[in-house]
Amino acid sequence: IKNIGLYTSGGDAPGMNAAIRAVVRTALYYDIAVTGIIRGYEGMIRGDFVPMHRKSVSNIVQRGGTILKTARSEQFKTAEGRKIAYENLKKNNIDALIAIGGDGTFTGAKIFGQEFDIPVLGLPGTIDNDLAGTDFTIGYDTAINTVVDAVDKIRDTAESHDRLFIVEVMGRDSGLIALRTGIAAGAEAILIPENKTGMAGLFDRLENGRKDKTSRIIIAAEGDDAGGAFEIGRIITEKFPHYDTRVSILGHIQRGGKPTCMDRVLASRVGVAAVEALRDGRSGEMVGVIHNEISYTPFDHAIKHSHEINAKFLKIVEILSL
Ligand code: F6P
């Protein structure tokens, strides 16, 4: 391997910069060049490449976002788009790829690695934590801490006004952000796409549970079947008009901010491991950490087998919100 093409793709996640830094510095350590590809697959098709040096990654370990920028590319989904991308890589003497992103990124990486003769490895970068082959993804820890911080603030005002709050958190197809933050923020209930009985359980609590509570926080994943936080708020107001109900959608604040120590360390570990794995001849895999050890998971498996929801977590919420 002489020149690694490095890119971030899909939704950004805090800690991506720490991963970029780790890849660049490790490659230089082993005398391998790194070319940054701007805006992921879009940049690959447009030939938007920049050489990365030691100094290109100075002072970024603590910064949110991604210095390589990111995008979701429609053109890369076509065979013609991917062919243009490959020709651009060849022209620039890029002979291996490291992709940082989530399931969309790895779907592209998998197809590309099969179509063309170029090794590709992935680093798990998404706030959703919805990839198999790693206990946690880069960005998840920062995002859940942001959520907990925000909910703590909402709780202050909820308590002052004796209100019920529906707080919507990110996770288009996954309730993993909601699940953990629900416990940490002391939620009354958690609504997630993976649990089909969430709304019924919530109604039961509101009808038959303790009546002397002064405030209530319900955490809902944006992908929940109930139809979004405003719809949940509407239904609750209709069924339980005596609750003073408000809705708060946290949105993209969950994607920004300084990465936590956990995210920086995870990003650094998998960044170093990915370069070493390319040198060892590995390809077509995501590099993650399972039980504190580096692990390699084929893209297909990482994408298709998201973490199962731990039912105990839901039970914990029920018990602790007595
Ligand atoms: O996949 C990360 C994520 O933040 C999801 O939780 C969310 O549904 C989605 O991206 C939002 O995407 P966008 O920023 O493109 O609206």
The torsion angles phi and psi of 45, rounded to 5 degrees, stand at: -75, -35
What radius of gyration, in Å, describes the C-alpha atoms of the chain?
A: 22
Edge-to-edge strands, sheet with 293-298? 49-52, 33-37, 3-8, 96-101, 120-124, 285-290, 293-298
Answer yes or no: is 27 a known binding residue: no
Element (H or E) spanning 288, and its range?
A: strand 285-290
pLDDT at 305: 83
**What is the spatial distance between Cα 128 and Cα 226, in angstroms, rounded to a whole number?**
19
CA 63 vs CA 70, 125, 263, 289: distances in Å: 15, 14, 11, 22
2-37 per-position pLDDT tens digit: 999 999 999 999 999 999 999 999 999 999 999 999
Dihedral, 150, 151, 153, 156 alpha carbons, nearest 10: 170
Taking each helix axis as running N to C, give the angle between helix 176-184 and helix 140-161, from 0 to 180 degrees, rounded to the nearest 10: 50
If one counts every other C-beta atom within 10 angstroms of the C-beta of residue 44, the result is 29
What's the number of CA atoms in the CB half-sphere (13 Å) around residue 96?
25
> Which atom in ligand 1 lies closest to the alpha carbon of residue 173?
8
Evaluate: CB of 90 within 6 angstroms of ligand 1. no
ipTM of the complex in this document: 0.96
Cα dihedral: 52, 54, 59, 65 (round 10): 30
Q: What is the mean pLDDT of residues 221-241?
A: 92
Mean pLDDT of 185-197: 93
User: Which residue, judged by its Cα, is nearest atom 12 of ligand 1?
Assistant: 11
Instruction: Please check if 102 is assigned to a binding site.
Output: yes
Q: Which of 255, 303, 306 to mutate to test the pocket of ligand 1 (most atoms within 8 A of CB)?
A: 255
Q: Is 282 marked as binding a ligand?
A: no
pTM over 0.90: yes
Mean pLDDT of 302-309: 86
Catalytic residues: 128
The response to whether 173 counts as a known ligand-binding position is no
Whether residue 146 has its Cβ less than 6 Å from ligand 1: no
* Bridge partners for 98 per DSSP: 6, 121
Q: Which of 73, 74, 128 to mutate to test the pocket of ligand 1 (most atoms within 8 A of CB)?
A: 128
- Ligand 1 pocket, 245 CB below 6 A? no
Q: What would the two tokens of residue 231 be? A: 């719809």
Query: What is the number of the ligand 1 atom nearest to the C-alpha of 127?
Result: 2
At residue 308 the predicted structure's pLDDT band, cuts being 50, 70 and 90, is: confident
Which pLDDT value is given to residue 173?
87
Within 110-242, strands assigned E span 120-124, 163-169, 189-191, 216-221
